[in-house]
Copies of this chain bind each other. A is one copy, B any other.
Amino acid sequence: MSDATPLSHLEQQLNFLREIDQLKSVVRKSPLIDQSRKENSAEHSWHLAMYALILQDSANTTVNIDRVIKMLLLHDVVEIDAGDHPIHETGDTSAQEAAELQAAERIFGLLPEAQGEELKALWLEFEAAETDDAQFAKSLDRLQPLIHNVATQGGTWVEGQVTEPQVQTRYGQVIVKGSKALWQHAKQLVAQHFKSQQ
């Protein structure tokens, strides 16, 4: 195919779907529950979509669960260019935000224009964490690694020497905004975990 031939609508869509295959190679800090290896961002996104499907009745408000699932499916695709940045990391967050925005422009830009704009808007809504749907999505993104850490004798908290008050702040403040019920339960799991470590 010559460079002069414009891609069809479907070719653009398939190029995007081939491109995002790379999310399967972005490795996160969180372990699988069986501790056989670290989780990647593609399977993490699948797991979060399942969290949304299963836990929708725990949201603080009536959320549009289909939008929440879509947000969670695409929330990490920017990591293909910008990498995964765990919440316990410190550093220049504005540089990271700029890199992620540039990644969103490039990756969603592979799609037919209207579709790419729609998905980029959904990603921006997730990032802004202002709507009910985004706040519930964010709370699940924070809950899932907490569940994995508790199930693996501390997971990333051990490596990062994270304390119980730090967990309360870094996880609790985000989870509670989307779901008081989930945080109430998770807080107990966290307390039991740190008690068992003493």
| A interface residues (Cβ-Cβ under 8 A, vs B) | 10, 13-14, 16-18, 20-25, 32-34, 36, 39-40, 42-43, 45-47, 49-51, 53-55, 58, 66, 69-70, 73-74, 111, 115, 119, 144, 147-148, 151, 181-182, 185
Are B42 and A46 neighbours in the complex by a CB distance under 8 Å?
A: yes
Chain B residues near A24: list those with CB within 8 A: 32, 39, 43, 47
Q: With A25-B32, A49-B73 known to touch, is A54 a contact of B185 (CB < 8 Å)?
A: no
A167→B6 CA distance, assembly (Å): 28
Chain B residues near A66: list those with CB within 8 A: 66, 69
In-complex Cβ contact of A46 among B25, B32, B46 (8 A): B46
Identical subunits present: 2
In-complex Cβ contact of A18 among B16, B21, B40, B147 (8 A): B147
Are B34 and A147 neighbours in the complex by a CB distance under 8 Å?
A: no
Closest chain-B Cβ to A121's Cβ sits at a distance in Å of 14
Are B151 and A18 neighbours in the complex by a CB distance under 8 Å?
A: yes
List 4 additional contacts besides A10-B58, A45-B46, A50-B73; criterion CB under 8 Å. A14-B147, A21-B148, A22-B34, A23-B46
The 7 closest A-B pairs by CB, nearest first: A46-B46, A42-B43, A66-B66, A43-B43, A21-B33, A24-B43, A42-B46
Chain B residues near A39: list those with CB within 8 A: 24
